[in-house]
A and B are shown apart, each in its own frame.
Chain A
Amino acid sequence: MTSSRSNSLISFLRSTRLTILVLILLGILSIIGTIVIQRGTDEEMHIPEVYSPRTIRIFNAVGWFDIYHSPLYSGLMSLLALNLILCIWHRLPKDLHWHRVALQGPIPESMDRMRGTRSIELKRGSPGPVESVHDALRTLGYRVRTAGEGEIAAVRGFSGRIGFYIAHLGILIILLGGVISALMSVEGILWMAPGDQTRYFTSTNGQKKELGFTLLCENFTVEYYDGKAEGMPKEFRSDLVINPGTDLEFTVPLRVNHPLSFAGYRLYQASYSPIGARRVEFQIQIGNDDRRRISLEIPGQHETVLDSGGLLRIETVSFEPDFIRDESGKAGSRSHQLRNPAVQIRITEADQPPSTHWLFLKYPDFHGMNQDAGHSIRFTGLTPLFATGIEVARDPGASIIWIGSSILVAGLILTFLIFPHRIGIKIQPGTALLVSGAGMKQSGQLEPAIEAVVRQISAELRADIESMRRSEDG
């Protein structure tokens, strides 16, 4: 009783019905994942606006905000793997048996159970057809044997049958690679401004990891297209120095799509972000008509211009990309983004003590300068300073994925191209040959295969009769 129940459970677990069911469920969950905002994406911050607190509680409980890593999704994937393993386990002995029997044993199935029977009429007095049949089948690439009295068995395309196993093995290896990646891969993004140097990076789960080498970002450049596509980035690259100042030092450019492998890690040019300014531009108006532009580096470059009242020295002091003042009135930045760029300058006029002022790119007319001074300075533009975003990753699952993928494709191609089937031939002495076949009927390839065999045998028989006649005539 129990054993029959467990048997029926096992036969369900290995059934194609379960495969189809699991694939449909995975499909539905995947669709949900492309409709519900997922954590870890850029949209994550909109979750509280889009969903009610109740919905958020429910979705959290069922794991819909991170559906691809939810227990249900992983569970279905595991069930799929189990299903594949059991199915292979169940089918493999049968197929090996099929192969052995087809080549050595008695004809495995009676001719009645084969399909597509065609008959070839034997001309009276034709020589022993057995040899002609053997020749015809061999010409077509079959492995042939005489099975019993007047019976010939032939088989072709065993590798097509193996294709099934190869393809499914490939999928299992891919799933294994996915598990290994999930458990063992390490990744993180390293933001570096030109001149930064580090031996560590922070992984996505917040751990501080040692690189095993020193990384210096010497420079970061963005190259833009010109002409019609002006302003669109053409290339961005970081000039990196690995182990600077040691005997092992070397410089290497890191570009998009050209990762760098070093000491077990792979480095990718992933993105970039403006964090400040390299240069700032000012427009200085002296009197009513004298207008000039100056461009200064940040920080600490200065330039002196001639004012009506004497010399005017302008020096950059500091820069904030997203200006804000805290409670104590101290200047700082809310973020690294260039949301409210502000530059602090120091102005020295001939006979007065130096004064510092904040100028804002977005509010060029707002400044605390003395309006009577006979000059005004406006902050009009900047050349951004970028930090480079370098993805650091180590993923032992990746190479397993590539192996699995290759195996999967090879298996699919074998299944697709090669049609495994058997041909059974019964000789009814003096009257006819019956040709039948067995193979996967769904692919519609059995009938053409039988047709080809019939044509080849008929040709061989005709040739035999011809040559016999000729020898009789001669």
Chain B
Amino acid sequence: MDDSTLNQIAMVFYMAASLVFLYRFSDNKHKPGKVPMGLTWSGFCVQTVAFIWRWIASYRHGFGHAPLSNRYESVIFFSWSVVAMFLIFDRFLPLRRFGGFIVVLGAVGIASTSIIPGADSTITPLIPALQSNWLFFHVVTCFLGYSAFAIAFFAGIMSLARQGVGANVESSEIIRNLDLIMYRTVMSGFILLTLGIISGSAWAYNAWGRYWGWDPKEVWSLITWFVYAVFLHARVTRGWSGKRLAWISVVGFIFVLFTFLGVNYLPIFKGLHTYA
């Protein structure tokens, strides 16, 4: 058995959890309850074991690095981190009701490794520039941040779906809860993205002697940071809520996705980030 088998098992758990979540979401009488949470936790534990498994296996190959380096590993890790963030936020925020939409993203992440071009599950070694202790901290903070923004994105979609694109802003309990979820997840994501950018520049400074080189990945992470800074200022200082806030949250995540995956397809893109 290898880690990709374990990931497939985790995917099955996530699928099952999302189905139960979504079934109970569609039927307003039911609360999500313990079953889908149990399934999510099981999948999460299996995926965590897969991560450690692969890390150990990389030592057997003589490479010895955290499994955070190529496209396959980064997509798998994104799937893990989005579920991790869901499980963390679930303790503080009323987001369990739409847990299905988030956990299914974990399953889709794992499934997509078989169709994304260049996502090969073989363990590969690191080129010298990537052999750094910063690798772990940089990737983990960035991905947990992306995941927090993913949850804010779903809260935004829920909020928009509820209010209707053209209708007036409704100030119901649910919308207020969604606003709260968006604000708290964006704030966490913002801190994590800040840490991710800072650790990236510390790493670049250690590898090439400059902390900022205007490489497209750096620039797009900064743009994403600007977008969420706008979100926070609109929310906190200007008191935006409801639909307007939901739109920033949704648009913000498009920037996240572009920073994560899209930058690689820019015509002039070249650099160390091509895999992630």
Contact = CB atoms under 8 A, between A and B. Distances in A.
B114 to A, nearest CB: 21
Contacts of A42: 270
A80 to B, nearest CB: 10
Interface in B229-246: 229-230, 233-239, 241
A16 B124 CA distance: 47
Given A16-B233, A268-B207, A444-B180, A27 B191 contact: no
Interface string B49-68: 00000000000011100000
A23 B229 contact: yes
Interface stretch (A33-41, A102-110, A147-155, A277-285): A33-41
Given A20-B230, A27-B226, A401-B201, A266 B209 contact: yes
Interface in A9-30: 16-17, 19-20, 23-24, 26-27, 30
Contacts of B194: 408-409, 412
A402 interface: yes
A442 B239 contact: yes
A33 B230 contact: no
Interface string B264-276: 0011111000000
Secondary structure type dominating chain A contacts: helix
B233 A27 contact: no
A33 B219 contact: yes
Contacts of B129: 256-257
A20 B234 contact: yes
A395 B212 CA distance: 12
A405 B236 CA distance: 22
Interface string A202-223: 0000000000000000000000
A68 B215 CA distance: 11
Given A257-B206, A444-B176, A41 B233 contact: no
B212 to A, nearest CB: 8
B236 A440 contact: yes
> Contact size class for B?
35 or more
Contact of B128 (A27, A234, A440, A441): A234
Interface stretch (B7-15, B155-163, B164-172, B182-190): B182-190
A413 interface: yes
Contacts of A441: 239
A233 B207 CA distance: 16
A236 to B, nearest CB: 6
B191 A395 contact: no
> Contact size class for A?
35 or more
B111 interface: no
B268 A37 contact: yes
B191 A24 contact: no
B83 to A, nearest CB: 22
B226 A187 contact: no
B3 interface: no
Contacts of A17: 238
A272 to B, nearest CB: 10
A26 B209 contact: no
A232 interface: yes
B76 to A, nearest CB: 20
B177 to A, nearest CB: 8
A324 B172 CA distance: 78
Given A409-B195, A442-B183, A16 B238 contact: yes
A259 B209 contact: yes
Contacts of A187: 209-210
Nearest to B224: A27
A71 to B, nearest CB: 16
A109 to B, nearest CB: 18
B209 A268 contact: yes
B19 interface: no
B226 A409 contact: no
Interface in A365-381: none
B220 A416 contact: no
Nearest to B93: A444
A30 B227 CA distance: 12
A381 to B, nearest CB: 25
B108 interface: no
A34 B216 contact: yes
Nearest to B228: A23
A391 interface: yes
A24 B226 contact: yes
A43 B207 CA distance: 22
Nearest to A36: B268
11 contacts: A16-B237, A20-B233, A42-B270, A227-B61, A234-B128, A270-B208, A392-B209, A395-B210, A402-B202, A405-B198, A416-B187
Given A30-B220, A236-B128, A270-B208, 10 more contacts: A178-B212, A187-B210, A229-B124, A233-B127, A233-B128, A257-B207, A405-B198, A409-B191, A443-B236, A444-B183
Interface of B: 61-63, 122, 124-125, 127-129, 131-132, 176, 179-180, 183-184, 187-188, 190-191, 194-195, 198, 201-202, 205-212, 214, 216, 219-220, 222-223, 226-227, 229-230, 233-239, 241, 263, 266-270
